[in-house]
Structure formats: C-alpha cells, structure tokens
Amino acid sequence: MRIAQLQTHVWDDPDRCLAGAEEVLSALDGQRPDLVCLGEMFACPYETSAFPRLAQPTGGPTWRRLSAMAAEHHVILSAGTVPEVDADGHVYNTAYVFGPDGSQLARFRKMHLFDVDIPGGQRFRESDTLTAGDQVVTFDTGLCRMGVCVCFDCRFPELVRLMALRGAQVILVPAAFNLSTGPAHWELLHRSNALAAQCFVVATSVARDMRASYHAWGHSMVVSPWGQVLAEAAEGPCAQVVDVDLGEVARARQALPTLCARRSDVYDLRELPRG
C-alpha cells in the first residue's frame, strides 16, 4: 500500500485550506497513492473559538468537497479532522474517511478531549467548545481493515488495543501535537502503539506555523508493526510518500503472538484488591 501524508498549512479559511490540499494531492497523481492522509484540524485554526465558528454538519460543503477529492483522485482519503456540528448544536472534532468512490467509510469523533495545563508549556481546553465522542471506529477499505483515533486519543492504550482486536491492521492518527508534547512523546507514543497493537500507525500532523496561536510539532510519521519508524517528515509543509507491506502485520503477530496470548480471563478491573 502506498501512503501519502499531506502536512499542510492551516489558514482561517476552510476553502483556502482545501484548495491547498487539493493542489498538493494533484501533484502526487503520478505516484498513485492508495491512502492519502491529512492532519488534525487541517482546515480550521486550532483555537477553541474557531471550532464552533467554522463547524459544519456531516454532508455539508467541506464534507462534499472531501468526498469529491477522494473520488477524483481515486484514493482512500483520511481527511484529517474538521469541526462538525450535529442537529442539536454539539460540536465535535471529527475525522472522516472516504473511499475511492467518494463514499464515507468512517466517521470518528475525538473521544478524549485535550484539556491540559502543562507547566511551562501549553494550556488548552477543547471541552470549552467541543463535545467528546464515544464510539470505537474500525472499517474495511478493500485493502485492509483500519481504525482511526485523533491526537490525544493515542495516549490511551485501551482504545488502540480495541481497534487491533477488531482486526485493524492500520491505525490512522490525524494529530497536532505541540512544541511541548511533540519532542517528548510524538515518536514514543506512535512506536509503542504500533508495537503493542502490532499494526501500522500512520500519524499525520498539520505543518508548523510560528505565526499562529497554536504551534504544531509536525513530523508526520509512519511506523511499522515492529515499532520501526519507516518515514518521518520535518516540521514545515510537505508531502511524504511511503510504501508499506501489509504482510508485515501477520508476520509480526506470528513472531510475537501478544494479541492471542492475552490473559483476558484475569483482566478484570472490578476485582482489583484493596490497599
């Protein structure tokens, strides 16, 4: 499978962001990627006030343009995330995935909201304007089964393990780590999740912009089921293309059968001893 990660610049204009992504993708047509990935909030400034202001419903203009992009280039499109609003006015940090015919394969609403206050670093509260999702999402693509989570979600190994147990061979992680968490944890988390789930992890960031209010780490990355970094971008706008052998998943799981060796008969948190 050939993967293209588009680490794009973010403007306060969804149409401009979409046009930029389309331009980069068009330039890659000759390389014939199977899977194209965008970053978290690739078409919306990463600001709590911007999420409700730019949110659109499923099936809205941004959704339709992303669907058309997947169909025009005949790719599986992991469309980063965009702010989504539902019929009741709830706003979500939502990852859509579209098939090569433009159909929606998956919709995942970020489950763990980024509410942090890092000493000497970033302070941010997604819950000021966002609502948390509550669904684990895996889906079939014709090439393999995939799962998707968003940025802060990847810090919770339970979610990653559930996707692997549902048959995911590739885990998509649109993300926007910052300059505090990025250098400390970006590579560490993606390598450990790939190793624990014995999946490919495709973590795609937006590009860093020091003029913006939020400074993304960048460094979009693909990690193998053996925990090896197969490709890593720098921090600026770029397109990264990498070929992966999906057979590595089965080989890793046969060599180290951690998923089938699980002791689910004793993994019961309700029975933890006191004291």
For the annotated catalytic residues, the residue numbers are 40, 110, 151
The amino acid at 258 = T
Q: Partners of 6 in the beta sheet?
A: 239
104-109 and 123-125 strand pairing: unpaired
Token pair for residue 233? Answer: 């971008």
Q: DSSP readout, 139-163?
A: EE-SS-EEEE--GGGGG-HHHHHHH
Q: How far apart are CA 134 and CA 22, in angstroms?
A: 31
Q: How far is CA 183 from the centre of its chain?
A: 18
Which residue bears the tokens 């090569």? 100
What's the full length of the chain, in residues? 275
Question: Quick check: helix, strand or coil at residue 140?
Answer: strand
For residue 82, the cross-strand partners are: 94
Going by C-alpha positions, the residue among 144, 150, 151, 148 that lies closest to residue 167 is 144
Per the listing, tokens 């293209």 go with: 4
